[in-house]
Structure 1
Amino acid sequence: MNIASLIDSNPFSLAERYRQGDPEVIELFGLHPSQEEHWARRALLLDETSERRASLEQVALAIRTYQSKLPYYSEAAASLEKLEQSRTLVVVGGQQAGLFGGALLIYYKALSVVQTAREAEKRLGRPVVPVFWIAGEDHDFDEANHVNIQSPKGGIRRIRIERPEGPRLAVSRTPLTTQQWETALQELADQLPDSEFKPALLERLQSHITDCPSLSLAFARLLADWFGREGLLLLDADDPNLRALEGPMFRELIVRNNELETALKAGESQVLSKGFKLQAETNPGSANLFLHHEHGRLLLHKEKDRFIDRRGHVSYSQEQMLELTSNSPDCLSTNALTRPLMQDYLLPVLAAVLGPSELAYWGILGPTFHEFGMSVPLLIPRQSFTYLEPNVTKLLDKYSLSVEEAITDWEQKKSEWLAEQDEWNLEEKFRLAKRQFEELYAPVIDTVSSLQPGLATLAATNRDKILEQITYLESRSLDAIAKQHEASLRQWDRIHQSLSPLDKPQERIYGTVHFWNRYGPEWLVRWLEVPYQATGGQRLVESLTNS
């Protein structure tokens, strides 16, 4: 296994400066994983504030009930037993579900959660459990309903399930039919290239959808298969058993909603004062809460002393909202800015694993945590990888191309290589021909212009047409060279499609299922051997398999 660091594409971003340990950025959060004492400090603080959180025993019971819907692994069962112990801490990371496991970055986030928990347990000498928080309450179905693979012909193919007609419900509340699941799985089977691993892969995915689950539940089952043996626990933010425990925190968010808004604005000011742009600016009057309703998941706003949605479906007094926290907490849900507070209320969060965008918007949350008597946990940048496939390694060597060049300068390098194949020096010859023609033709234009002024325009048009024909011949000649090297150009395209598909990071485009099909379950397992880095960073990994 070979591992090398890659240069971050945005070295001055808030997330990258935090990762590098910039003191000015760390001020926004308070703790940093590179500081050994900060791990112990956070653990001590959680011990001192345990009475302010939900009952860990009841939270563990809710997770146990949810885990019963997932494939069973004894290591996950052991994590549940640890979670019920008073001294247990957790490392949490979350994501919205993804069809058939979604993009690679989700796999890498779960991997980061597992490895961080393992590392923290060694550092602190006490139980630390990995937990993956599925954002099933989110209603953006189009973010969850697809996965990208590479088809047998080499193109990128998106497999998707269309959102059912009707209100935009939370993903975990969006019912899917047997026909929808079977159609999606059949399309995946048709588009995945044949491999020795494909039959078992499809059989396992089929086992997850026989009872026609929600996208979130099918996703949880697949993550359990991938990381259950590492003790990973899974929860759904929209689980009614968890919601039943969240009433007291919802009550705080409602009663102190004005203070919540003020704290968020203070956090935004701190980020702006350090020269960063806001990842997502808060809207004036937003309650930063959602209501699950027959018309969908409704974002709530404050208007005088009432909580309303902009479409006019609901208008609740504070008293009515508080009644919901007691009698129907499953009607409420957090947004991206209040979810971290709810997470900290439910669980003894030692550390949270975050992607770059999440780190950016968590930058404004310091004052909000403080306002509610909490503090920001240790934030662990999600480990980020580019996998260098064996056949791509050979192609890079063949064309003397570095990975960085292939990712950031592929088009230019490809053009330069093709130009080198021009043994006739066609571009220079055509350039010389055009110049010589223009020099020879200039006296003609001068002569005819002196005969009759109107002929000047005709002569210039005639010149341009001839130049256009020369350019056309040049283009056809260069196309002929490209055609002679068609096979090689396809190899250049193969490099680009592997490392930077659609000009985006590999981990954001391809689904984990794409590589699982190509390299088998061993490829998934061997990621656990990649050395852990608490401060994350983009790394290049090759030789995970013997292929």
Structure 2
Amino acid sequence: MTTECLPISSLPGISAIFRDYAESGALTGARPTGADAATDARDMALLRRCYPSDPFSYHWAKAAPELPQEHREKLVAELLRQAEAHNAGESAKVAIGKLRDGAAAVVTGQQVGLFGGPLLSLLKAATAIRKAQEATRISGREHVAIFWLATEDHDLAEVDMVDLPTKTEIEEIKLGLKVERPVPVGNIRVDSVGQDALDAAIDHASELIAWGPVAELLRECYAAEGATLASAFARLLASIFAEFGLILIDAASREVHALGASTLRSAIEQVDTLDAALLQRTKELEGAGYHAQVLVTPGHSLLFLIDENGARLPLRRVKAEDGTTQWKAGMRLYTTADLLAILEASPERLSPNALLRAVMQDTILPTSAYVGGPAEIAYFAQSAVVYKAILGRVTAVLPRLSATLISPEIGKLLDLHEVSFEQVVAARTIDDLALRLGARAMPIEGKRKIAAVGNAMDTELNALTEYMTAMSADLGRTAGISANKMRYQMDRLRRMAARFELEKETSLRKHATAMMLELFPEGHLQERLLGGIWALSKFGEALPELLVQNASQECPGHRVIRF
């Protein structure tokens, strides 16, 4: 096995603020590349306000809050109850016991996607485990890894699916779960589609991952009596990382919300202050050329309300007829007193949005650091002002392991065609990659002739354009346009020659298809699209340990791991 570390900026679709945070050294004072000094100073000052902890040091390891012992006892009791429900192993229960004794936590989390969701869920868990191990070693204070199950989200379509590769395409498996209203997804039973439909989906996934132990584990978790999206996901993750003591927490329970009630109360009582701070931070981010990850508008709030019918509805502030501020969820109005009464009687009915979730999480847990993906880290830039207003501090946020796993058979194809992972990503589509392989397969004599003609033509066209420009600027522009047309025709001839080789050698398209489906499926990084169960089945039972090992600090970018 070999590994390669690529700069995070070499990956497509990375937000500017995540790139700058990951590569500029927010605390070390390193300057972003390609900007003037004044811009650099402004951006660095903003990054330090958004992210006060350096992601590539362990200063955060001694910064976890001290929670009252009564709070810890209640937290431990709830975590042990959930551990029993998730069939967690002894290592997880030992880790929960460490929380009672004063341990800090490295926390991560993800939506409870069908059949475990995409590979990135495993990468997050592995990173939290590794950071907790290293923080314990470096700081001398015990750290445990906690995975926050985002069961309160109501976007059912986003979690009712998993993508798995075949030899020719990516297949999307769905249960087809349906609800009458937007409800928290965690409690939706997977057999609500009918036992036959559930069995068919499990069998289909098992066939695509070649049956075996992973398929058996999948059935054990998702075909269990009364299994929900949350419980099945939790059982799967607990089993995968059983030996590492990963703690799982379902955020939707009444007990968890009661522990975080102070933050929910602050979101109600300090709404004007929070609103102003978020609008100002959005203005600062946009002024620095960054994109605000979460849309913030006047009248918004950081809360959802679970109504009497179980629907999760956003709370917005509106002016009542008497000029007072009220809260609206669906078609119903609430006073601030109404919301505080609901919080007191049924705290689980108030649910945080994306910007408040992390703050509530760190009210409940003794968090040293949070491990997030690029999008999460981008919206932490906004969450920082909420942290400051409610908790008086900002938790460190660390990039999760970003990795592409290359199987031996795909590695052989890369070597055969002398193609790198970066070139596969740059090609973006199977057709473009196939053309690249066709061009490489062209006889050397043909390559030399085309290259010689192209180079000679460029030399002559450049000389001619310069000569015409000296005669007249208008003539020079016309010559430049004509020269570009000639170059286009030369490129067209290159493509035609490559396509001829491609059609002559049918295996080239098959090879391009195989490489693209594994390494950059449908124009996405492998980790963001392919199911984690595919990786577990493909790379074997040693994969969790391998991911934990590779989630260390020395590669701040993207790891390419060849088996």
Map 1:392-407 → 2, pairs under 5 A: 392-407=410-425
Deviations 1:436-472 (A, max 9, x none): xxxxxxxxxxxxxxxxxxxxxxxxxxxxxxxxxxxxx
Report the secondary structure of 1:302's partner residue. Answer: strand
Specify the alignment match of 2:381 in structure 1.
363
**Once the 2 structures are TM-superposed, how far is the Cα of residue 225 of structure 1 from its aligned partner?**
0.4
Closer/same/farther in 2, CA of residues 488 and 35 from structure 1, 3 Å limit? closer
The residue identity in structure 2 corresponding to 1:396 is L
CA contact (8 A) 2:433 2:512 kept: no
TM alignment of 1:214-229, pairs within 5 A: 214-229=228-243
Q: How do 1:462-477 and structure 2 match up within 5 A?
A: none
Give the one of 50, 59, 71 matched to 1:55.
Answer: 71
- Contact 1:248–1:325 (CA<8 Å) still a contact in 2? no
Structure 1 pair 352–477 and aligned structure 2 pair: CA distance change class (3 A) = closer
The 3 A distance-change label for structure 1 pair 6 and 54 is: farther
In structure 2, the partner of 1:26 is 48
The AA in structure 2 aligned to 1:75 is S
> Structure 1 residue 329: deviation in Å?
0.8
Give the secondary structure class of the aligned counterpart of 2:305.
Answer: strand
Q: Does 1:279 align with 2:293?
A: yes
Distance 2:70 2:274 in 1: 20
Deviation at 1:479, TM superposition (A): 6.9
Give the conservation status (yes or no) of the 8 Å contact 2:118–2:529: yes
- Alignment of 1:204 with 2:217, yes or no, is yes
Aligned residue number for residue 103 of structure 2: 88
Match of 1:102 in 2: 117
Contact 1:178-1:212 within 8 A present in 2 as well: no
Q: 1:117 corresponds to which residue?
A: 132
Structure 2: gaps spanning 5 or more residues = 30-43, 454-493
State how many pairs are aligned. 492
Instruction: Say if 2:502 is the partner of 1:488.
Output: no
Letter in 2 for 1:338: L
| Partners of 2:558 and 2:154 in 1: CA distance | 30
For residues 237 and 556 of structure 2, what CA distance do their matches in structure 1 show? 21
Q: Deviations over 1:270-318 (max 9, x none)?
A: 3234321211221210121001121611000011345444641x21111
The 1:225–1:536 alpha-carbon spacing in structure 2 relative to 1, beyond 3 Å, is farther
Distance 1:482 1:542, change over 3 A: closer
| 2:458 aligned residue | none
Q: Indicate whether 1:236 and 2:250 are aligned.
A: yes
Worse overlay, 278-287 or 90-99: 278-287
Counterpart in 2 of 1:4? 4
Pairing 1:138–2:153 present: yes
What letter corresponds to residue 133 of structure 2 in structure 1?
R
Mapped to 1, the partners of 2:15 and 2:536 lie a distance apart of 34
CA shift in 2, pair 1:123/1:178, >3 Å: same
The residue that corresponds to 1:67 in the other structure is 83
TM-score, with normalisation over the residues of structure 1? Answer: 0.83
Per the alignment, residue 468 of structure 1 pairs with: none
In the alignment, the residues of structure 1 paired with residue 555 and residue 561 of structure 2 have an alpha-carbon distance, to the nearest angstrom, of: 17
What displacement does 1:184 show?
3.8
AA at the equivalent of 2:548 = L
Q: Distance between the aligned counterparts of 2:420 and 2:118, measured in 1?
A: 25
Which residue number in structure 2 is paired with residue 466 of structure 1? none
In the alignment, the residues of structure 2 paired with residue 400 and residue 477 of structure 1 have an alpha-carbon distance, to the nearest angstrom, of 19
- What residue number does 1:327 align with? 345
Q: CA deviation at 1:178?
A: 5.8
Query: Contact (CA 8 Å) 2:435, 2:498: kept in 1 or not?
Result: no
Q: Retained in 2: the 8 A contact 1:272–1:278?
A: yes
- Aligned counterpart in structure 1 of residue 534 of structure 2, from 484, 505, 514: 514
361 and 475 in structure 1: CA distance in 2 versus 1, 3 angstrom threshold: closer
What residue in structure 1 maps to residue 306 of structure 2?
A: 292
- Over the matched positions of the two proteins, sequence identity in percent amounts to 25
The aligned amino acid for 1:111 is A
Q: Which amino acid aligns with 2:6?
A: L
Q: Is contact 1:280-1:361 (8 Å) kept?
A: yes
* Residues 124-168 of structure 1: per-residue CA shift (max 9 Å, x gap): 1111111000110000011111111113x4321111122324111
Report the AA paired with residue 14 of structure 1: I
- Deviation per residue, 1:349-402 (Å, 9 max, x gap): 100001101111111222222212431111110110011111111111111111
Q: 1:416 to 1:137 in 2, by over 3 A?
A: closer
Cα contact 1:300–1:309 (8 A) shared by 2? yes
Q: 1:26 corresponds to which letter in structure 2?
A: R
Secondary structure of the 1:211 match is coil
Between the aligned partners of 2:165 and 2:375, the Cα distance in structure 1 is 26
* Corresponding position of 1:76: 92
Segment of structure 1 superposing worse, 25-34 or 141-150 = 25-34
Distance 2:204 2:516 in 1: 24
Please state how far the C-alpha of 1:538 moved relative to its aligned partner.
0.9
Deviation at 1:534, TM superposition (A): 7.4
Partner residue of 2:354?
A: 336
1:251 aligns with 2:265: yes
Matched residue SS, 1:337:
helix
Q: In 1, Cα distance between the equivalents of 2:376 and 2:419?
A: 33
Q: Secondary structure at the match of 2:148?
A: strand
Task: Look up the match of 1:540.
Answer: 560
| TM-score, with structure 2 as normaliser | 0.81
Unaligned runs of 5+ in 1: 433-473
User: Could you list the per-position Cα deviations for residues 468-490 of structure 1 after superposition, in whole angstroms to 9, with x for gaps in the alignment?
Assistant: xxxxxx99998775343111221
Q: Is the 8 A contact 1:383 1:538 kept in 2?
A: yes
Q: Does 1:171 align with 2:185?
A: yes
Match of 1:128 among 135, 140, 143: 143
- For the aligned residue pairs, the C-alpha RMSD in angstroms reads 2.9
Aligned residues of 1:192 and 1:514 also touching (Cα < 8 A): no
Distance between the aligned counterparts of 1:497 and 1:34, measured in 2? 32
Q: Residue 130 of structure 1: SS of its match in structure 2?
A: strand
Contact 2:165 2:518 in 1 (8 A): no
1:410-460: CA deviations, max 9, x gaps?
65553244245566979x99xx9xxxxxxxxxxxxxxxxxxxxxxxxxxxx
Q: In the alignment, which residue of structure 1 is the partner of 2:365?
A: 347
| 2:526 partner letter | Q
Partner of 1:13: 16
Q: Name the SS for the 1:132 alignment partner.
A: strand
Q: Which position in structure 2 is the counterpart of 1:390?
A: 408
Task: Please give the alpha-carbon distance, in whole angstroms, between the structure 2 residues aligned to 1:32 and 1:213.
Answer: 40
C-alpha distance in structure 2 between counterparts of 1:264 and 1:59, whole Å: 30
Q: CA deviation at 1:409?
A: 2.9
Secondary structure at 1:364's aligned position in 2? helix
Distance apart, 1:68 and its partner CA: 1.0
How far has the Cα of 1:527 moved from its partner?
2.2
Higher alpha-carbon Rg = 1
Amino acid at match of 1:385: A
Q: Could you tell me how far apart the structure 2 residues matched to 1:194 and 1:364 are?
A: 40
Would you say the 8 A contact 1:136–1:237 is kept in 2? yes
Tell me, in whole angstroms, the C-alpha distance in 2 between the residues paired with 1:295 and 1:308: 18
Offset from partner CA, 1:22-41 (integer Å, 9 cap, x none):
3412332211133444433x
Give the superposition deviation at 1:514: 1.2
Cα distance in 1 for residues equivalent to 2:435 and 2:208: 33
Q: Is the 8 A contact 1:57 1:84 kept in 2?
A: yes
State the AA in 2 paired with 1:62.
E
Determine helix, strand or coil for the equivalent of 2:268. Answer: helix
Alignment check: 8 A CA contact 1:381 1:535 kept: no
Segment drifting more, 11-20 vs 102-111: 11-20
* Cross-structure match for 1:458: none
Partner of 1:504: 524
